[in-house]
Amino acid sequence: MIRPILFSLIGLASTFSFCHAADQQNHNPWLDYYDIQDISIPKGVDPQISGLQALRNGTIAASFHDGNLLVLDPKTMDWSTYATGLHEPLGIKEDKTGALVVAQMAELTRLVDENGDGKADLYQTLSDDFGLTGNYHEFAFGPAMDSKGNMYISLNVASNRAGIFQEIRGPYSKLCPPQEEMKNWRDKEAYKQTQKKVGRMYSCAPYRGWILQVTPEGKTTPYAYGLRSPNGIHIDKQDRLWVTDNQGDWIGTSPLHLVEQGDFLGHPASLLWKDGWQKTIAEMRTSDIEPMRKLPVALFPQGELANSPTQPINTIDPTLFGLPEGELLIGDMNQNNLIRFIADEVKGTMQGTLLPFISGDELGIGNNRFTFTPDGALWVGKMHYRWAGGIGIKKITWKHKPFLFIKKSKPS
């Protein structure tokens, strides 16, 4: 059952009217209700923000594409170095001990400040129980963290625009082309046939395209699979796991998933690591995967609302940010707007509506990572991953002026 959205006709007419007038005057109407501020980034670091987390002591941790993890004191606006030498860290969480946990390309790492000087002294490997081939597209996103302290990371599949390197970590799938063919990817003519056999995106090393659960002690469990480029992973207050994926081969438009253990979410490359699976990617057909596939809860209209969705985050107290509490806000790499997800559970099945929210050149593109601070400000970290996107940090603050918005689905 798909429920209609509850609209206010007067509100919508008013909204469209002032948006049209604003376009004529080159004025962004969102700036009447929200302040969008640039945050200064220290010199000497790549200003691509790969992780962002408000910490319990009032500071804000930010990881950078170049491997630095810095901490900002928002009272003084001074930055300090917490950790260096990380390999493409793509998320931050503060655990119950106050340590910072980051997903690097090669592992999930706990960074511990043992002597209290504001710098990590211990770089502890929590989990490296997944494979690597050296392919540039083998990102590791996260972690998300549940109420028990379990962490979840989402692993990108590899791209056939490149192959594998001489040394790989983990076993190599017998369902992939021979390793020597995959290592010969710099010979473009010779590699063309291999590309067809391996598929557009592939998973020749363990658990590419999977979500892994990692306990606080480091026990790693394959949790769900069928993902292509899951750049957004989030646990809400109900311990529900939300994941965004990116459009591409086998995925007609980018989906939002509500994930439970054992789910297969649609992209077949990860099936090579499912117990008992025997087909290569070239042999697979839609009929092989559809019976297993769990449908997404929502789809992002490609090129209109999103191209490459990123991290979801739950909205907070409406007196602080203006929206109903508990909705999801989601970013995107290519579109200069934030996206609201209004959930609607019907007879135990989750669905919902995706709507544009704050938008415009003042926000810009590349909105990759998010965190709310106790004062109600939304901090936005930008990145471009060497493709589309942006750089830097934006701070978005509600001006406590009422505005018109769609609130919820119409009740039955």
pLDDT value at residue 17: 37
Token readout for 240 is 């529900």
CA distances from 407 to 124, 155, 305, 314 (A): 44, 34, 19, 15
Which residues are paired to 395 by β-bridges? 37, 379
pLDDT value at residue 19: 46
Q: Which amino acid is at 327?
A: E
pLDDT value at residue 409: 63
Q: Report the predicted TM-score, pTM, of the whole model to 2 decimal places.
A: 0.93
Distance CA 397, CA 374 (A): 12
- Listed in sequence order, the residues at least 6 apart from 324 whose beta carbon sits closer than 8 Å to its beta carbon are 315, 318, 407, 408
Q: Is there a contact between 346 and 28 (Cβ–Cβ < 8 Å)? A: no
CA distances from 238 to 8, 24, 147, 314 (A): 30, 44, 9, 11
Q: Is there a contact between 210 and 223 (Cβ–Cβ < 8 Å)? A: yes
Domains of the chain, start order: 34-398 (2.120.10.30)
pLDDT value at residue 22: 43
pLDDT tens string, the chain, 412 residues long: the values are: 444 444 333 333 334 334 444 445 689 999 999 999 999 999 999 999 999 999 999 999 999 999 999 999 999 999 999 999 999 999 999 999 999 999 999 999 999 999 999 999 999 999 999 999 999 999 999 999 999 999 999 999 999 999 999 999 999 999 999 999 999 999 999 999 999 999 999 999 999 999 999 999 999 999 999 999 999 999 999 999 999 999 999 999 999 999 999 999 999 999 999 999 999 999 999 999 999 999 999 999 999 999 999 999 999 999 999 999 999 999 999 999 999 999 999 998 999 999 999 999 999 999 999 999 999 999 999 999 888 899 999 999 999 999 988 887 665 5
- Listed in sequence order, the residues at least 6 apart from 226 whose beta carbon sits closer than 8 Å to its beta carbon are 209, 263, 264, 265, 266, 267, 268, 270, 271, 289, 293
pLDDT value at residue 407: 84
pLDDT value at residue 183: 98
Q: How many other CB atoms sit within 10 Å of the CB of residue 82? A: 21
